Amino acid sequence: MQPGTVSITAVAEAFFDACETGKGWEVCSSFCTPDATFSAQAEPLLEVKTLAQYTNWMKGILTVLPDARYEVKSFATDSTRNNVAAYGVFHGTHTGEGGPVPPTGRRVSTDYVYVMQFEGSKIAHMTKIWNAGLALKDLGWA
């Protein structure tokens, strides 16, 4: 790494924490290109196409699951392909207002992976790999 350059691992870790703690695009944008894109093959996120939309969606989830927290299981950097993969488990209880149904009081622990593709030292695209169907059933939303 050149002196003064930022490690994509450090950027990914800072972004991951900001995203998962509901900081929204206001904070997460500093780690991303302005037009960063997003994709996921998960029903609740099919219409979410930008990282700005996704980070704000996560901010909203933390109002519905106010005790939400994440547990990092693995962080891996692929410098050849200029990406970082983060595997985590998201935990939360539906006690907040604003979800698809009134608060159920049910808990979720759901595995997911983010693959963050970099342009230079900024995230340009993120793919979320997540079995949303099981998470929604656990919360009593499906």
pLDDT digits (tens, 9 = 90+) for 66-117: 999 999 999 999 999 999 999 999 999 999 998 889 999 999 999 999 999 9
The reply to whether 53 falls in a domain is yes
38 residue type, one letter:
F
The reply to whether 98 falls in a domain is yes
The count of domains in the chain is 1
Distance CA 33, CA 97 (A): 32
* Residue among 48, 55, 64, 47 at smallest CA distance from 31: 55
Provide the residue range defining the domain that includes 28: 8-139
The reply to whether 54 falls in a domain is yes
The reply to whether 120 falls in a domain is yes
pLDDT digits (tens, 9 = 90+) for 56-78: 999 999 999 999 999 999 999 99
The reply to whether 21 falls in a domain is yes
The reply to whether 47 falls in a domain is yes
Q: Which CATH number goes with the domain that contains 73?
A: 3.10.450.50
The reply to whether 3 falls in a domain is no
Distance CA 125, CA 32 (A): 8
26-36 burial string, b = 16+ CB within 10 Å, else e? Answer: ebbbebbeeeb
